[in-house]
Each structure stands twice: as structure tokens, then as C-alpha cells.
Amino acid sequence: MNMPDPQAFATSWMNQFTDPSVWQGWMTMPTMTPPGAGSNPLAGVLKDFGAGIAPGKLESIRDDYLRKAGQLWQDFISGKSPELHDKRFSSSEWREHPMSAFSAASYLLNSEFMLALAEAVEAGPREKQKIRFAVQQMVDAMSPANFFATNPEAQKKLLETKGESLTKGLANMLADIQKGRISQSDESAFEVGRNVGTTPGKVVFENELFQLIQYTPGTATVKAVPLLMIPPCINKFYILDLQPENSLVRYVVEQGNTVFMVSWRNPDRSLGNTSWDDYVETGAIKAIEVVREISGQDKTHVFGFCVGGTIAATALAVLAARGQQPAASLSLLTTLLDFSDTGVLEVFVDEAQVALREQTLGSGGLMPGRDLATTFSALRPNDLVWNYVQQNYLKGKEPPAFDLLYWNADSTNLPGPMFCWYLRNTYLENKLKVPGALTVCGVPVDLGKIDAPVFLYGSKEDHIVPWEAAFASMSLLNPKNPKANRYVLGASGHIAGVINPASKNKRSYWVNDKGGKHRPKTAEAWFAGATENKGSWWPEWAKFLAENGGADVPAPTAFGTEKYQPTEDAPGRYVKARAD
């Protein structure tokens, strides 16, 4: 069978999904002639699909659609209200208005058909992922809940408020146009250093790339080994220190640890030539050096979250190549070292897209934080885009105060050379996992040379770092001593799974401590033998730190040293800088 070029096919689909007027009529009404026939707006597209789907599979999908569409039409004529098993249509207004219920049911049926076609396309894994993503984006955008003319909730609100909701909605939309993004939280309710990022401490070192915060001890004695936390540079560190009741920083301080935090600078044009090597050498390695000097300890716990974990592990591999082993332990949260499975982010990374970024940013410049934020919102459009279109614009509501979403909107830029190196060498070519395949800071990188106990954490519903991909680090670190590695799996997603306070006893986590010949080699085998525990995984990590933290010693009574004098209160000024 002749198949269209998968990349061109995916691009063609993406291009056809940009005009809502073409799609909405069909998406909210069933037709006894499936998409692609007659004057249907999808005419011609099914021809492309037909070239990429086995005839028998295509016929089965069409037959199923015709059967369900016929039944839906008969139910409508007879006055039977359809069942709507979708939270977007859960309010009573959708069920009380027959046409609204029929519109929503038709949309769900047609969405099911489109996604079935996308799933049936015979293409390579990457190309198929792009096609699925493009179709899902279109399907989500065309929900009748997203348009005033087909949203009975918004129409009712208009009547109840005598037009005030529409006026307020337009004002909200115009304000967001000025900001260049959709408001997801009441941003006036929060201020970094006032009610988020409030764990007390002092900035004890800074250079052009980061500030180092030392936190005030929370106990009379602490473990001798300090803890250095390296957050992702793609967003701000205070996700780990939101409000006191959900601050991971405050928790580990209260568990008897001397805690240091890297607060990355929000790059401006002066840092437009900063490289990945700079983030490793001038960032992570310098932070490790300063923490050791201030604490007087040969070793420090090293913690990395997301890309902060990739930077931390790379830094320790560089130091190992130089004959240094400064880590008492390494903790990696939702971190990729093996980029074989990058989840839905894979749709944004291919040779053409990376080459384009290299052409525009590889020699200097900034990857705007706004663009990065838009990309991540597109991964969950119903939750992070269309929900706010419906609430803020169609109904004229103000978004509620939510600390996590306030942080989510506080984006950061990335230096172009650093960003391009990261895309090509990890996401595209997956070289970091191969011993010696990459040279960083002048030495070959081999993650297997890091000599430290390892704590790995993944989130079960993570769409950015699939938990199986986080588990893959188990085979890269301590290859000659796998029993030194421990993996814990938490419930929920990339952020909510990590920020799961022990005091609230919510959600659950899984552990599997089988060792020896029974030690699981794959993520699937690990989960099959894992035990689920109710509550937060934080105590598991605290126990790991304590086991590798050395003796109890009196807590420090001063910040820094004579060489590293404190300069300002935590959280410091770097974290307060907004992206351009």
C-alpha cells in the first residue's frame, strides 16, 4: 500500500486544524455520511487517511461510526436524552436543553471517530504520535463548551447577570491579550517571598547564573551531610517551596537537614550565549563546591528535579571523570537520563524542528519563557487552556487563587545555545545514557561512574517524564552495584505527584524493595511486584537521606562562612525577576 510521507501527513493535518469555522459544524452534528464524503469539511482528508489505514480497519471504523450515529439520531427524534460521560458536559444545563445534549453527544461521537482514525494510521511511532497529537488538539479545540453559541452554561450566566458576565468576559480576554497568556490564577493573591517561597534563609553565594540559598535550621541537631537541591532551570525553584503547608523545602529542613537551594537566574539578553557546559560547570559544580566549603563536609546530598536532575547527574559524571566523588547520595525526581521515551513532548522534537532552533538560537539568543509555557499548556489543553476560556471569557469569572498555577505562569527564559544542545543531545539523539558519547566541560560523560546511593522518584500519571522513563535510570546508575539504587513511584502527575505534603496524607505511592536475583529489571516487573502505600512518599525520601546523612551534629548557628557572607534574605532577587 502506498502511504503518504508521515511527516508531511502530520503537518497537513496540523495545518487543516487551525480554522475553527471549518470544523465546528461537523464536530457538533453527526452525519450518516462519515467525514471525507460529499461536501463534508473533511473531504479529502479521509482520502489521505485511506492511504495510511488498512482497508479492513477503515471499513470497521466507518461501520461503527454509522451504527452509533444512527442510534444517536433515533434517540434524538424519540426524545431520549443521551448520556454524557465527560466532565466538560457534567452540569445540568447540558442535560436540560435537548439540542445542547445532542450537540455534546455528537461532538463526543465525532471525536471518538477522529481519534480512532488517527490511532489506525500505519506509521512509525514518532509520526503516529504527531498525528494523534494533532487530532487531539483539534478535537479539544472544537468542543461545543468552548463557544458561546453552543455553551448553555455561558448563555444562562448571561441571562442571570443581565449581560454583565459577557462584559466581564471580554474584559478578561482583553487583559489576557495584553499579557500574552491566559490567566489561570488570581495572580494578585501571591508574591514571591511574601506568601510563596517563604522558608527562611539567606543567600550565601551568587554568580551570573545562580544564587545559592542556605535555609535556617529547623531542629537543634542536624545530620552532618548537607543537602543541595538543584531545581529545573526551565521554571522557578519555589515550586519546591510554595506555602508552608506544601513546601518540600520546609519539610526536609524540619527533618533535621542543612538545606541549600540553587536559585537559577531568569536569563536576559546578557546570558544569551550561555551553554549547557556553563549550567553544569558554573552552575551545579560550583554549587557543590560552595556547599562543601560552607558545611566543612567532603560530601553532600545532591538532589535534582526534572531537568535539574539531568544537570545534577551530568555534573556528578563530569566530576567522576575528574576523579572526584562529592555526592553522599543522589536523589532524582521525575528526571530523564535515558530519553528513549519522552512522552508527548516527542511531538515537538524531530530533526527539522531542532535544526530550526539551532539555526535561530544556536549561536545566541533566548528561548522565551512564554513560548515554553505555551508548549506545556498544549500538552493538557482541556485543563490548562480551554477550561479558562470557558470560565474566564465565556462566563466572565475571575480565576481563583491557586499557588501552583501562579507558579506555572511565572515562566523563565532559556539561553539559546544551552536549549539547543539539550534538545539535540538528549531528546533527539539520546546520547547522555551512552558512556563516553558526550563530552561536557572537556571530559567524557559516563553516568555509570557516579559512586553514590541513588533515590529515584517517578509520578504514575506524568505526561512529561513517563514513570517508566524515570525508572530507566535504575540501569544507568551504579551498574556494578544496583542494590544502591531505590525507586519510588508516586500517584498523580509531574508536579502534583511531587508536591504531595506528608502532613495531608493524600494520594499514595508504590515501593518494591526486592533484591538479589529477584530484583526487577524492567519497569513493568517492578510495578507488578510493588506494594501500594497510602499517603505521601516524602517520608520515604527523608528516611533515605537520614540513612546516608552521617552523624547528628549541632545545627549551624550562622549562615555561610567568612568567605561566603550572606547578602540578602531568601528567596533572593534572582527568583523575583520576570521573563521578558
Among 579, 561, 577, 477, smallest CA distance to 260 is for 561
In a domain, 490, yes or no: yes
Q: Check if the beta carbon of residue 203 is closer than 8 Å to that of residue 211.
A: yes
In a domain, 445, yes or no: yes
**Statement to judge: residues 43 and 129 lie in one domain:** yes
The pLDDT assigned to 100 comes to 94
Per DSSP, 196 falls in state B
The owner of cell 551568587 is 206
In a domain, 404, yes or no: no
Alpha-carbon distance values, 239 to 49, 62, 342 (Å):
43, 47, 22
306: annotated active-site residue = yes
Q: Which of 233, 306, 420, 441 is catalytic?
A: 306
Contacts of 510 (CB under 8 A, 6+ apart): 460, 488, 489, 490, 527, 530, 531, 532, 533
Q: Using one digit for the tens of pLDDT, what is the confidence trace for 505-530? A: 889 999 998 876 678 999 999 999 99
Instruction: Give how far the C-alpha of residue 226 lies from the chain's centroid of Cα atoms, to the nearest Å.
Output: 28
**Statement to judge: residues 344 and 463 lie in one domain:** yes
Q: Check if the beta carbon of residue 110 is closer than 8 Å to that of residue 93.
A: no
**Statement to judge: residues 142 and 211 lie in one domain:** no
Q: Which residues of 150-162 are buried (b: 16+ CB within 10 A; e: fewer)?
A: bbbbbbbbbeeee
Question: Domain count of the chain?
Answer: 2
Average pLDDT, 10 consecutive residues per value, the chain (580 residues)? 37 37 49 41 43 82 92 91 93 93 94 90 83 89 94 96 95 90 92 97 98 98 98 97 96 98 97 98 98 98 98 98 98 98 88 94 94 85 92 95 93 96 97 98 98 98 96 96 95 95 92 81 96 97 98 97 97 92
**Statement to judge: residues 137 and 262 lie in one domain:** no
In a domain, 87, yes or no: yes
Measured CA to CA, the distance from residue 436 to residue 445 in angstroms comes to 5
**Statement to judge: residues 22 and 118 lie in one domain:** yes
Q: In this structure, how many other beta carbons lie within 10 angstroms of the beta carbon of residue 87? A: 10
The pLDDT assigned to 36 comes to 39
Phi, psi angle pair for 170, to nearest 5°:
-65, -40
Host domain of residue 29: 6-147
CA count, 13 A, side-chain hemisphere, 263: 27
User: Which of the listed residues 147, 166, 189 is the one where a domain comes to its end?
Assistant: 147
**Statement to judge: residues 468 and 555 lie in one domain:** yes
The one-letter amino acid at 77: I
Overall residue count recorded for the chain in this entry: 580
In a domain, 378, yes or no: no
Q: Residue 324's domain is classified under what CATH number?
A: 3.40.50.1820
In a domain, 400, yes or no: no
Q: Which residues of 173-197 are buried (b: 16+ CB within 10 A; e: fewer)?
A: beebeeeeebbbbeeeebebeeebb
